[in-house]
Amino acid sequence: MTEKTNTTQNVRAVTRALAILNSFAGKGLQSLAEVTQGTGLDKGTTRRLLLTLMESGFIAQDPTTQHYRLGRAVRDLAANVADDLDLRGIALPVMAELAADLHITAFISVYNEGDVVCVERIHDMKGIEVHWWAVGGTLPYNCGGAPKLLLAYQPAQEINRVLKRVPVAMTPKSVTDVEELRDQLEKIRRRGWECAVDDVSLGLTALAVPVRDRNGEIVCCISMAGLTPQMISRGRPVHLARLQSAAEQIERRLKR
């Protein structure tokens, strides 16, 4: 076998492995059949690649259900997403306190060329743990608080580029009409926060606010998620002021 043929096969294997990792975007656990369907690979190839990824820590398997999820190696890589500022290290203590006080799941996320990547998920053991956004994973741009918030603050050209993607309906409440999404993004920019109800998982609500650096540029998003009755009262987000205060704390630390 020639060197060129070997190289081609190696590149194909990498591409397929990345397809498997990307299939977990917006998902917690997947069966072998679900991964196979999501990637378009045959069952045998999918199983072999999953086993290889498990050996390196990028995939883990639930011992009870035998379903697969993203592994700890993804979390370790995601911790290094930030550029010259250690956003995760600065924001983590603030978000851990928030999660403990409110008994919710908190997230830190960043925008990356049309995708919003979760770089940290913090769960309080006394509350319900929200599993639908894994560390290193992404969500569709039209679903969830953080994806819509971070997209709303992008330049018009970038928003237009992203809106050309076909929106994904994760629940019947997910907005898939592009013009309606444009209106939502404008509303988010005006008020400075987003509260997404039932559009990722029915019965769950996510609240998101931006974090800015010393130059006023948005560097990340912090968000929280929980059961809708815990998050919404009389049509308003219950913990908005507290989340905004957490963002201000992080911003002050960034400016030091």
The predicted-structure confidence for 41-83, as pLDDT tens digits, reads as follows 999 999 999 999 998 888 988 877 889 988 878 766 765 554 4
Tokens of 251: 């911003």
Could you say which of 3.40.50.1000, 3.40.50.1100, 3.30.450.40, 3.30.2130.30 is the CATH number of the domain covering 76-254? Answer: 3.30.450.40
Contact criterion met (CB below 8 Å) for 122 and 106 = yes
**C-alpha closest to that of 139 among 37, 40, 22:** 22
Q: How far is CA 28 from CA 74, 189, 249, in A?
A: 13, 30, 30
Closest C-alpha to 168, from 178, 153, 179, 158:
178
Distance CA(145)–CA(224), nearest Å, equals 9
Report d(CA 171, CA 165) in Å as an integer: 18
Dump strand ranges (E) for 17-90: 59-61, 68-70
pLDDT band at residue 84 using 50, 70 and 90 as cut-offs: very low
User: pLDDT, tens digit, for every residue of 175-202?
Assistant: 999 999 999 999 999 999 999 999 999 9
> Of residues 26 and 105, which shows the higher confidence score?
105
Q: How confident is the model at residue 81, as a pLDDT? A: 52
Q: What CATH number is given for 3-70 in this structure? A: 1.10.10.10
Band (1; pLDDT cuts 50, 70, 90): very low
pTM: 0.68
Out of 53-62, 122-131, 154-163, 173-182, pick the least confident: 122-131
User: pLDDT-derived band of residue 9, with 50, 70 and 90 as boundaries?
Assistant: low
Confidence band, pLDDT 50/70/90 cuts, at residue 139: confident
> Phi first, then psi: what are they for 218, rounded to 5°?
-80, 125
Q: State the average pLDDT for the chain.
A: 86
Average pLDDT estimate for 225-238: 91
Bridge partners, residue 212, by sequence: 218
pLDDT at 5: 44
Q: How confident is the model at residue 245 (pLDDT cuts 50, 70, 90)?
A: very high
Start-to-end C-alpha separation, the chain: 58
d(CA 32, CA 43): 8
| Strand 194-197 versus strand 68-70 pairing type | unpaired
Domain boundaries along the sequence of the chain: 3-70, 76-254
Say yes or no: do domains 3-70 and 76-254 share a fold. no
Are residues 87 and 219 in contact, defined by beta-carbon separation less than 8 angstroms? yes
In a 3-state reduction of DSSP, which class is residue 249?
helix
